[in-house]
Structure 1
Amino acid sequence: MSPSPASESVAWLRLTAASGRHPVFGDPGPLARASLAHPDVALLADLLPHNGDTYTPDLLTPQPGTDAHRRDLIDEQIAQIEAAAQEDLETQVFTYTETHWSRPLRAATRRIAESGRMQRRLANGLARFWRDTLADGWPELRSIIDRDIAHRATAIATHGIGRTLGALHPDVDWAGDAVTLARSRDGEIDVTGRDLVLAPGVLNWSDVVIQVDVPGQFVLYYPAQRIGAGRDRGSGGIVRVVGNTRATLLSDLDTARSTAELATRLGYAPATVSYHLGALHRARLVTKVRDGRYVLYQRTAQATRLLEEAHD
């Protein structure tokens, strides 16, 4: 059982690209949309299913490692994307998308895949989108996932693995010697000898996804329990949209301030403040003007509205 930050990122990016909304967390927000303008993030988004298609290349969501408590789990998954074999990439990007998508792969995307440069660009795109949109808010998502993992671990210890697998989701069942998944297509996959990784999902809720295309990998993504439980959907919206650090910065930018002043007032490292201000500026949530030797930042009217909505 393990979180998959790569899967959460891909789900959030898919919502962003489709101008969709999460049933609990709502609009992905201006930071996510601004990140989509980066060419490597856009390339990653181009490999996600559109308009009712369901297939996502498995290489974009590498199987989480066995040590789920490592703090660099997302870095490990990003490294796996960059290290993906060219043969596996071409099979998934060319053959499987042609089989499962109703749209053709864009010619520009095909050329990048054929060039051998796609793995590095996809890894960079995921890293960029993660930093811009989810890294700051990951503790909230991780707490939901950890609660679900603890619940399933207790259920396994009490009732056994078979009963626990059968209780993950109405579409998932345990037949005594196989995991069965209710789908419109019939098929069997031999996963003998593979580890089964159960990955509770938050941002891809309420989908169930099985991942078996990468040799040796077997991941079952299912919706975590109690997503949004005890959470006021009408409050705290600014944190969900921009993350805790950026929400704190915006709250303190009713008056124009420099990076150094914000770092001193809020106790952050100047480099941290500078990075987050850059992301907020790209999302048009802050303005910046030069005043002598300093660059002063101040929140925009859109950011002020977000703050006001969060307190309504």
Structure 2
Amino acid sequence: MRIHFTVSDLARVRVAEAPSPLATTTFSAFRLRYGRSGDPALDTWRRTTQAARRAASEAAAPPGTPPLDRLVATAPSHPVPRLLRPHVALPTLDEEVERLLSTPRSELRADWGYVATHRPLPRWARALLEGDVVALRWLAGAVRAHHSAAVAPYWHGVHTALRADQTDRVRQWQEGGVERVLATLHPRMRWRAPVLELPDLDGPDYHLDGRGLLLAPAAFTSYVPCDPGDPQPTLHYEVLPHPGTAATGDPRGALAALLGHSRAAVLQVVAEGVSTSRLARRTGLSPASASEHVGVLRRAGLVTTRRTGRTAHHALTPLGAQLLLPASSHGAERGAAEGCACGPLPRSG
């Protein structure tokens, strides 16, 4: 797949001013659904996110509404709704969700109509084609619920990494111009003027036709311009594949030194969302000892416990997730790519 630039396009290339919390949330939903396992930090993030979602029981979304990862894409080749990957970022997710809720009906119909031509939408989401306010609120609830579990506990580290990349791009621009920036975006992207090549992506060539290109550092995945009607084509290029690569590489032994080996093991198993009996089996501790360690971690604000009848279920708090994830990321390579998320790429114009 190739993105074609004219002289006008090169003059209109720019770097996004700030990372978008909503776009990060959207791409995290894609990575949760399609990311390959095997990376300890990615697996920890996935288990922790899934446990947090189970604990919340998708309370922010009504019955029948799918989690955000099912709404964003049901196959890697499907386009992501433009409204869920804004090219103009606002400082907080709440502000971006409020903007989403105020989207004009004409934009809703155009955006979701384009997505619907490439994949079936959930029944309730079809109402977005008509600008239904209730459906839009359901969407906002799904975004907030997913963000709370998958992104919010790690946003500080993710935001710092994305802003650092933006600073690097500005420096590259000053030293070598726009072509230096395009030549170093990603290991899987090659700049051969006047074309940006993506060898691992199949699809028709994409012509910018004078609209330029916005370069947006992204977490969780890359996203290549897909919608031919997009007035501002935006290339979200992956800077870090998951929150663990934003960490400083704190080795697992440091966590044990801080908490003790038994409590460190308890914290790691609790990331999966477990009952006391299952926690005891997984760690080799007695139920009483496992419960005692959980109590210490809970008083420290690292674990939360809810009861269903006589069974206690334990999960990480955001603080616990922040503490555990860096220990899982030791040795991870920053920016290791797992591929690009992109829908069909019709020729523009």
Normalising by the smaller structure, the TM-score range is 0.5 to 0.7
SS for the counterpart of 1:254 is helix
Q: 1:31 Cα shift?
A: 0.9
Q: Show the counterpart of 2:22.
A: 6
* Letter of the 2:86 counterpart: P
Match of 2:225 in 1: 210
Distance 1:113 1:34 in 2: 32
Q: How does 1:177-256 map to 2 (within 5 A)?
A: 179-182=196-199, 183-190=201-208, 192-193=210-211, 196-204=213-221, 207-210=222-225, 215-224=230-239, 227=245, 230-232=248-250, 234=252, 254=295
Match of 1:42 in 2: 66
Pair 1:134 & 2:151 matched: yes
Unaligned runs of 5+ in 2: 1-15, 256-263, 273-291, 329-349
List aligned pairs for 1:64-143, cutoff 5 A: 64-65=88-89, 72-99=91-118, 101=119, 104-111=120-127, 113-114=129-130, 116-117=132-133, 118-143=135-160
Paired residue type of 2:98: A
Amino acid across the alignment from 2:204: D
Greater shift, 34-43 or 110-119, is seen at 34-43
For residues 64-90 of structure 1, the C-alpha deviation after alignment (integer angstroms, 9 at most, x for no partner) is 33xxxx7x3423322332222323323
Q: Which moved more, 1:14-23 or 1:161-170?
A: 14-23
1:81-139 CA distance string (max 9 Å, x none): 2222323323332343333x3xx323343245436123333223223322344223211
Name the CA distance, whole Å, in 2 between partners of 1:216 and 1:111.
24
RCO greater where, 1 or 2, for CA within 8 Å and sep 6 or more? 2
| Alignment TM-score, normalising by the size of structure 2 | 0.59
* SS of equivalent residue, structure 1 residue 42: coil
Structure 1 unaligned segments of length 5 or more: list them: 243-250, 267-272, 290-297
Q: Identity of counterpart residues, as a percentage? A: 18
1:128 aligns to what SS in structure 2?
Answer: helix
Residues 127/37 of structure 1: CA separation in 2 closer, same or farther (3 Å cut): closer
Change (3 A) 1:286 1:34: closer
Partner of 1:31: 52
TM-score between both structures, scaled by the size of structure 1: 0.65
CA shift in 2, pair 1:190/1:87, >3 Å: same
Contact 1:81 1:122 in 2 (8 A): no
CA 1:34–1:233 in 2, change beyond 3 Å: closer, same or farther?
farther
